[in-house]
């Protein structure tokens, strides 16, 4: 069976090297990301915002090609606005995730986008969906993505549990992203977080000099 080739950038394209993650807790979801965008080894943007709102209570975390993920997120944002106007209510997270999936799957040859969709809706409450390069959709209690995620699978598996409180989930996400940033050359900068609940969205920011620190040798 053929395996998808990982990110092949077109000339001039910029990579979201990245560590992204989304975590479901009792009342909502946390989305978190680093802030490094690279073209080769040059850091094109060291304060990137990879957490993009596509609706009031739905965010996506973008990894892969910056251009591709921005374009896809814009299109989904358009369709979700249309949905809201026509149906008169907020779209469910599952609908947003499926729109991403449809775009990624149908254009898999042209895109390189690894996206995590997370948010809150009144039907299912909080939910997290991840869409990989080929365009397959998976719902998960938490999801990690991007090049930096490979270094924190162990940490996440060991430390995640269902029904976390908001504070526990924030700490979990912060620590995981920090660990990935300290090992992955394509991830770094600052940590951006967003907490999404029924009430609204709270954005958090952890500057580079306040990152959680671990054993540094």
Partner 1 sequence: MSGIGTGYDLSASTYSPDGRIFQVEYAHKAVDNSGTAIGIRAKDGVVLAVEKLVQSKLLVPGSNKRLMTADRHIGVATAGLLPDARHLVNRAREEAQNYRDFYRAPIPGKMIADRLGGYVQAYTLYSSMRPFGVSTILGTVDRSGPALYMIEPSGVYYGYHGCAVGKGKQVAKTEIEKLKLTHLTCREAVKEAARIIYVVHDDVKDKEFELEISWVCEESKGRHEFVPKDLVAEAERLAKASLEDEMDED
Axis-axis angle for helices 66-87, 93-106 (nearest 10): 130
Q: Which is nearer to partner 1, 123 or 153 (CB)?
A: 123
Query: What's the token pair of residue 19?
Result: 């560590």
Of 181, 175, 136, 212, residue with least CA distance to 30? 175
> For residue 65, what are the contacts with CB-CB under 8 A and spacing of at least 6?
7, 9, 13, 14, 15, 16, 111, 112, 113
Provide, rounded to whole angstroms, the least separation between the CB of residue 90 and partner 1: 12
> Is residue 129 within 8 Å of 154, Cβ to Cβ?
no
CB of 118 to partner 1, least distance (A): 17
* Residue among 87 and 210 whose Cβ is closer to partner 1: 87
What 3-state DSSP class applies to 169? Answer: helix
Nearer to partner 1, 98 or 140 (CB): 98
Q: How far is the CB of 103 from partner 1 (least distance, A)?
A: 11
Tell me if 144 sits within 8 A of 176, measured CB to CB: yes
User: Which of residues 99 and 152 has its CB atom nearest to partner 1 in the complex?
Assistant: 99
Question: What residues are annotated to the active site?
Answer: 18
The least CB distance from residue 198 to partner 1, in Å, is 17
Interacting residues with partner 1 (CB under 8 A): 83, 86-88, 92, 94-95, 98-99, 102, 123
């Amino acid at each position: 069976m053929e395996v998808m080739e990982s990110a092949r950038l077109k000339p001039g394209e910029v990579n979201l090297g990245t560590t992204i993650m989304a975590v479901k807790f009792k009342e909502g979801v946390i989305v978190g990301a680093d802030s490094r965008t690279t073209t080769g080894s040059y850091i094109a943007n060291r304060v990137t915002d990879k957490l993009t709102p596509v609706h009031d209570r739905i965010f996506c975390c973008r990894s892969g090609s910056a251009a591709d993920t921005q374009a896809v997120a814009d299109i989904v944002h358009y369709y979700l606005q249309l949905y809201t106007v026509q149906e008169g209510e907020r779209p469910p997270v599952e609908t947003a995730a499926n729109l991403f999936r449809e775009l990624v799957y149908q254009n898999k040859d042209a895109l390189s986008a690894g996206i995590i969709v997370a948010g809150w809706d009144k039907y299912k409450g909080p939910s997290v969906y991840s869409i990989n390069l080929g365009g397959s959709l998976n719902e998960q209690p938490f999801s990690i993505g991007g090049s930096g995620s490979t270094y924190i699978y162990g940490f996440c598996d060991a430390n995640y549990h269902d029904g976390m409180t908001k504070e526990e989930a924030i700490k979990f996400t912060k620590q995981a992203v920090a660990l990935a940033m300290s090992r992955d050359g394509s991830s770094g900068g600052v940590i951006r977080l967003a907490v999404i609940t029924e009430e609204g969205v709270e954005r958090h920011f952890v500057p580079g000099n306040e990152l959680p620190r671990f054993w540094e040798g």
